[in-house]
Structure 1
Amino acid sequence: MKASFECVDGHTAGMPVRMVTSGAPDLQGADQSERRQHFIREFDWIRRALMFEPRGHSAMSGSIIYPPSSDDFDMGVIYIETTGSLPMCGHGTIGTATFALERGLVTPKTDGLLRLETPAGRVDVQYVQEGERVKSAKLINVPSFMMYQDLQIESPDLGPLNVDIAYGGNFYPIIERQDNFNDISDFDALTLIQMGVRLREAIEDACDIVHPLDDSISGLRHCMWTGEPMDAGSDARGCVIAGGMIDRSPCGTGTSARLAQRVARGLLKTGEPFVHESYIGSAFTGTAEEQTTVGDYEAIIPGISGSAYITGLNTIYVDSDDPFPEGFVI
């Protein structure tokens, strides 16, 4: 067996995006959510091959573009990263939209608006393009909401913690400053990762985390530690642990979850900008565009603005004679 995949490589706010443009399998399903389930069942080897070493690395993430299932969308997307195939990825959406537009792989029906079909639902990307270059992209994300507020969890490392759990396309435990946790600057990166992994496990042992409208979206793959921003012009800083690595970007779905959390706590008003820094100091600007509901939960529609950059074009081969056809993780 020998397979090849054409890819556009780049980054959004420092976080890699590998967009697969050809070589991916046809998927069955009425929408991207069903197609994602088909991909997970039968083609997860592609994700592992493209994301894991030696073709990828521990912080690799990406997307696969598809024709949409209906004329309501301009393009379909499946998200892949080292932790799995996610229902939604914010930095991946900004990167995918930017790369597809700059490479001429999609022609939106409405200039300045790209309508993406994602496994989490419709995501609109408003963009400004000058010549080939997409100067900025703003994704209008899926409805986001606070699921648990001040959930008391025993951290194996820090002791009792109050944790908020919010949804922004993925579920995030958010740990703000409190008695047993002050700031991400108090810990090195490896310690934050290890504490985040163990805290996720403790939370999943303590409560059920399932999207009220889609039970295929469940559980925790992320954790967000918080801290004071590095730049005076930013409002907050978040360190998102995804699997066993730190997100280099502020994380689009994580920023969406934090917007929902702050609105629920009365710390942010609809339309008010929120500049969210990443662990490395890059930033997204988020706004709660409007209020809505998700099942019984009060929710918001988040808008997340950022920029992405192409770093190269890539043809990746996967050969069954290779000793690591599906890669490896250390």
Structure 2
Amino acid sequence: MRSIGLVDMQSGGDVSRIITSGVGHLPGGSVLEQMRYIQKHGDGFRRLLLSEPYGDPYMSLDLIVPPDNPRAQAGYIIMEAMGYPLYSGSNTICTATAVLQSGIVPMEEGTQHVVLESPAGLAHVTAENRNGRVQSITTQGEPAYVAARDQVVEVPRFGRVKYDLVWSGAYFVLVDAASVGFEINADEMPELAGFGHALVAAARPQVTQEHPELGHVGPLPFAHFMGPLEEVGTGGYRSRSATYVHPGVICRSPTGTGTSARLALMYDAGEIRDGQWLETISPRGSSFIGSVLGEAQVGGHRAMHSHITGKAWTLARSEIIVDLDDPLVDSTDLEGVLDQPV
């Protein structure tokens, strides 16, 4: 029997399950190397906690691990139904809140700067803390860039669909929602999920699995549906947005990486400038704010630095007991990952 310590958080409606204890030492130096080890030798752990009766595929997992970079106070590996995204805005917001409120990183009253190491690199976090609680998190991950514009794919039952390909911690296909008949509201979520599944499956063969600096990043995992832009004052924009996670999930939040991808597309087209911001609103009405920080370079691509601001709430602190004799537990690749028996 093995024990796993958890803190469940939500940001924008998306649940992140933060794993604080119960996993042994993972070989590798960087968090990326530790992620690749558990991906290859311990994927049963991800499947266990994202499947009934221990969890569900709409959750994300964030495993706290030792950082390799001396500038980071903690590391985290992100696990989802689609696999192992290298970076995620909502997961970073939840993880940063959890490590501060649980004391893994000592909390300071007021504005606190924290550096976390994700598989994609360093996430620079600014937390606003008051009376022992995190009021908001602003996170800056790795830069985003447009990898390809004006791509077309034939999607079964939907016909030819135009998309742009953007990297923002993972590859996203970005689609104008109105062009495929969606307004992006809660009632459309089942249909959006079905369309997203067909779109990603069709686009995967023509989308690269290589990143110019990170190497192999796996098959296309995400689609982001863009609503019309509404100008807000002189410095900002607002837009309904939805992110699809393969296979079959429409996120409850607009997602941080989806927001970054939209910003990168706008920045590349000259539609938004340094210092301006975009509020993305999910089909369920939750929102994140993404702000443009400035130009960057990734390989030969013109890229963009941005940060995402949101808030996370604690749902539960718990301990799961995993009995390796349970017939519902596939223990094949768990014993090398889980800590010693309780």
Decide: shared fold, TM above 0.5.
Answer: yes
**Structure 1: segments with no counterpart, 5+ residues:** none
- C-alpha distance after superposition, 1:61-119 (max 9, x if no partner): 12011221142111111111222222112101000000110111113799611101110
CA distance in 2, matches of 1:303, 1:247: 20
Other structure's SS at 2:53 match: coil
Partner of 1:168: 168
CA distance in 2, matches of 1:234, 1:265: 15
CA distance in 2, matches of 1:179, 1:138: 32
Partner of 1:102: 101
C-alpha contact 1:9 1:310 (8 A) present in aligned 2: yes
Quickly say closer, same or farther: Cα 1:98–1:43, change in 2 above 3 A.
same
CA distance in 2, matches of 1:14, 1:185: 15
Partner of 1:90: 89
C-alpha contact 2:31 2:119 (8 A) present in aligned 1: yes
Paired residue total: 326
CA distance in 2, matches of 1:257, 1:205: 21
Partner of 1:36: 35
Q: Structure 2 residue aligned with 1:317, among 311, 314, 321?
A: 321
1:21 and 2:41 aligned = no
CA distance in 2, matches of 1:263, 1:310: 34
Partner of 1:67: 66
Other structure's SS at 1:324 match: coil
Other structure's SS at 2:259 match: helix
Superposed counterparts of 1:122-141, under 5 Å: 122-141=122-141
CA distance in 2, matches of 1:245, 1:180: 18
C-alpha contact 1:4 1:316 (8 A) present in aligned 2: yes
Other structure's SS at 1:279 match: coil
1:275 and 2:279 aligned = yes
1:241 and 2:222 aligned = no
CA distance in 1, matches of 2:16, 2:179: 37
- C-alpha distance after superposition, 1:182-213 (max 9, x if no partner): 53349732221121111112112234242111
CA distance in 2, matches of 1:147, 1:187: 32
- C-alpha distance after superposition, 1:221-272 (max 9, x if no partner): 1111222589x89611211111211111111111111111111122211110
TM-score (norm 1): 0.92
Quickly say closer, same or farther: Cα 1:180–1:117, change in 2 above 3 A.
closer
CA distance in 2, matches of 1:175, 1:52: 30
Partner of 1:302: 306
Other structure's SS at 2:217 match: strand
C-alpha contact 1:185 1:227 (8 A) present in aligned 2: no
- C-alpha distance after superposition, 1:1-25 (max 9, x if no partner): x221000012011100110000012
The answer to which of 215-224 and 98-107 deviates more is 215-224
C-alpha contact 2:148 2:164 (8 A) present in aligned 1: yes
**Structure 2: segments with no counterpart, 5+ residues:** 332-342
C-alpha contact 2:186 2:284 (8 A) present in aligned 1: no
C-alpha contact 1:142 1:301 (8 A) present in aligned 2: yes
Which amino acid in the other structure matches residue 311 of structure 1?
L
CA distance in 2, matches of 1:304, 1:263: 15
1:262 and 2:266 aligned = yes
Other structure's SS at 1:184 match: coil
Partner of 1:4: 3
Quickly say closer, same or farther: Cα 1:247–1:185, change in 2 above 3 A.
closer
RMSD: 2.4
Which amino acid in the other structure matches residue 211 of structure 1?
H
C-alpha contact 2:239 2:281 (8 A) present in aligned 1: yes
TM-score (norm 2): 0.89
Superposed counterparts of 1:127-206, under 5 Å: 127-177=127-177, 179-185=179-185, 188-206=188-206
CA distance in 1, matches of 2:252, 2:229: 15
Other structure's SS at 1:316 match: strand
